[in-house]
Structure 1
Amino acid sequence: MITIQSDLRQFRGTHYELGYRQGEELSDSPILKTRHKYWKLKRPRFNIDVQEAKSAFLQFAPKIWDEFEGISDGSKQPLENILRDFGGYRMEPERSGCSVFVQDEFLVRNYDFQPVTYDGRYMVYQPTDGGLAVIGPSSRVTGRMDGMNEYGLAIGYNFTHRKKTKDGFVCYMISRMILELCENVDQAVQLIKELPHRNAFSYILLDQTGEHYIIEASPRDVTVRQASECTNHFLTQEKENRHHIKESQTRLDKISELKSSMLSPEKAFETFNAKDKGIFSDNYKSWSGTIHTSLYQPRALKAWISLGGNQQPEVFDFQQWLKGNDFQQSTLTGKLETDIPIANME
């Protein structure tokens, strides 16, 4: 068992200023060293075309491109390296788990993956040059694993497969774009349909009206359905599924079995975070161990999170933060049943 730490980062300013600040932090952070070590061990299965990536971002989210330039300047790393390590366009994400349950009042999610890929950065950012304020854990620094914006739009995503890839954005960058650019689920669905997708993922959305959808998005199609639970396989685009989905189906069945007891956010969080309920996983070496449990309340604008299992959540009042009241703590801590460190650990 190891103790892990996630650093709480709060920032108000332009995207370039945020990028420059993050670039300076990365210069002294194990995160950058971890990414460079990774590429020495495993050759990227993609090529970075800076102009192609720039064109894609300028079409959909030009301010995020400013952030990349800020990271490059702040870290004194070539822009090509920043796009390779943190760009979210044409990247090749590894396989993972993840489970989501959504109701009118909340969305709860287990983020299941391999610890060495986990940033250990919880971001609260209010842009001053366009875009919506967002709270949630980062992925590859510029992306978001899950989160909620100032209008109460909440999102989580679940991996399906990475076969038959096409040029496009990956899950954590799509999540970031949705949160910064969309006010409700209908706008988010429209954006997901317009974006080019690198891989196949489900995106689970909830807004302040209580409207919630599961969007199955692949490089070939985007379909929308309504349900309250989602794991790691598609139900409408079944041809997109991997051959072996038994473990994913087992978790889906378990959520369905328990959902009648998860009608309050407190009970839902406890159930997802408990190690003996069949949803939380310690399978870290197989890229599917639960690193964090998160819950979002769009109407109350509150974000919950804990690292590891059997934990009490930290609850952040995003509404108060939007009024200018910064959070006092600077770190989150937890324990994982593994000896694999996360990316921000030496």
Structure 2
Amino acid sequence: MQSIYSDVIQYRGRHYDFGYEQGIDLKHSYILENRKKQWKIRRPRFIIKEDEVKRMIQPIAPGIWEELCGLMDALQWDMEEILQEFGGYRLAYQKSGCSIFTNSDYMIRNYDYHPKTYEGRYTVFQPTDQGYATIAPSQRITGRMDGMNEHGLTIGYNFVHRRHPEDGFICNMIARIVLENCKDVEQAIAVLQEIPHRHSFSYVLLDKNGETYIIEASPRAVKIRTGQVCTNHFEHLTEENRHHLADSQRRQQTIQDNKGQITNAYDAFRLMNDSKRGVFSTKYKQWAGTIHTSGYFPKQLKAWFALGGDREPVIFDFNKWLKGQDFSIKRVIGKVDTSLPFVHMEKM
């Protein structure tokens, strides 16, 4: 069992300035040094071209391109290096887990992945140039693992497979684009139908209207369904599923079996976060251990967040933050039952 943390990053301003500030912070972190070592082990099998990525990002998320430019200037890297590390386009994505449960008032999500990918940044950003304010843990700095925006639109995603990838955006950049550019589920569905997908994922959407939509997206097709439970397999695009679905189906069934006993959001959080209830995972070496549990409340504009299992959630009042009241908490602390190193905490 080891203690871990996520820093709470709060910023109001232009995307470029946010990118620049993050670049300055990263110079003094373990993240970039560790990522360079990772790239030496798994060199990309393709060349990321600046003109191609710019052509894809700018029409739908010009602010994110400006953030990448800010990172480039702060780090004094070539844009190709920036795009390989932070661009969210044509990159590879390792297998992962994740489970999501919703009702009309909330989304509770377990983020299951490998510790060496987790950068420990809980990001709250209110852009002044373009896009909506968001609260979300980040992935690869510019991407988002799950999150909610100022209109209450909430998103989480679950891995299905990475076979037969095509040119497109990866999951964390897709989540960021949706949160910054969509007011509601209908707009988000339109983006998810239009945007090119690199890999196969389910994207779970909830807004203030209270209906959950699950978008099954692969590089080849996109299907839409409703539901309250989502793990790591498709219900409609079944030809895209992996052959080994037992653990995904088991977690799905565990949540379904317990739905009747859940009377409030805290009950739902305990079902997902308690390590003995059957949804929380300790498969960290298999790239599928639960690192955080998130909760989002679109009607209240509140977010819950906990690192590791059997934890009480830290509660963030996003509505007050949007009105100018910064969070006093600077770091969320938790414990995870693994000795594997986290990318932001030590040299690897």
Tell me how large the CA RMSD over aligned residues is: 0.8
The secondary structure found in structure 2 opposite 1:92 is coil
CA distance in 1, matches of 2:262, 2:170: 31
Q: Could you say which residue in structure 2 is the equivalent of 1:261?
A: 261
CA distance in 2, matches of 1:146, 1:260: 26
Q: Could you say which residue in structure 2 is the equivalent of 1:132?
A: 132
Q: Could you say which residue in structure 1 is the equivalent of 2:206?
A: 206
Q: Could you say which residue in structure 1 is the equivalent of 2:53?
A: 53
Cα deviation 1:229-254 (Å, max 9, x = unaligned): 00000000000001111111111111
Query: Are 2:246 and 1:246 equivalent residues in the alignment?
Result: yes
CA distance in 1, matches of 2:262, 2:134: 26
Query: Are 2:191 and 1:187 equivalent residues in the alignment?
Result: no
The secondary structure found in structure 2 opposite 1:60 is coil
Q: Could you say which residue in structure 2 is the equivalent of 1:18?
A: 18
Look up the equivalent residue of 2:152 and give its one-letter code.
G
Structure 2, unmatched stretches of 5+, are none
Q: Percent identity?
A: 51
Look up the equivalent residue of 2:128 and give its one-letter code.
T
CA distance in 1, matches of 2:51, 2:35: 22
CA distance in 1, matches of 2:261, 2:34: 41
CA shift, 1:59, in A, is 2.2
CA distance in 1, matches of 2:299, 2:237: 32
Cα deviation 1:75-112 (Å, max 9, x = unaligned): 12221111111110001110000000011000000000
CA shift, 1:271, in A, is 1.0
CA distance in 2, matches of 1:46, 1:240: 24
CA distance in 1, matches of 2:202, 2:91: 17
CA shift, 1:217, in A, is 0.4
CA distance in 2, matches of 1:307, 1:116: 15
- After TM superposition, the score normalised by the length of structure 2 is 0.98
CA distance in 1, matches of 2:32, 2:192: 30
CA distance in 1, matches of 2:109, 2:237: 22
CA distance in 2, matches of 1:45, 1:202: 25
Q: Which moved more, 1:191-200 or 1:57-66?
A: 57-66
Q: How does 1:97-112 map to 2 (within 5 A)?
A: 97-112=97-112
CA shift, 1:192, in A, is 0.4
CA distance in 2, matches of 1:205, 1:282: 26
How many pairs align? 346
- After TM superposition, the score normalised by the length of structure 1 is 0.99
CA distance in 2, matches of 1:178, 1:48: 23
Q: Which moved more, 1:6-15 or 1:41-50?
A: 41-50
CA distance in 1, matches of 2:262, 2:138: 27
CA shift, 1:258, in A, is 1.0
CA shift, 1:262, in A, is 2.4
Look up the equivalent residue of 2:140 and give its one-letter code.
R
Q: Could you say which residue in structure 2 is the equivalent of 1:66?
A: 66
The secondary structure found in structure 2 opposite 1:59 is coil
Q: After TM superposition, where is structure 1 displaced by more than 2 Å over at least 4 residues in a row?
A: none
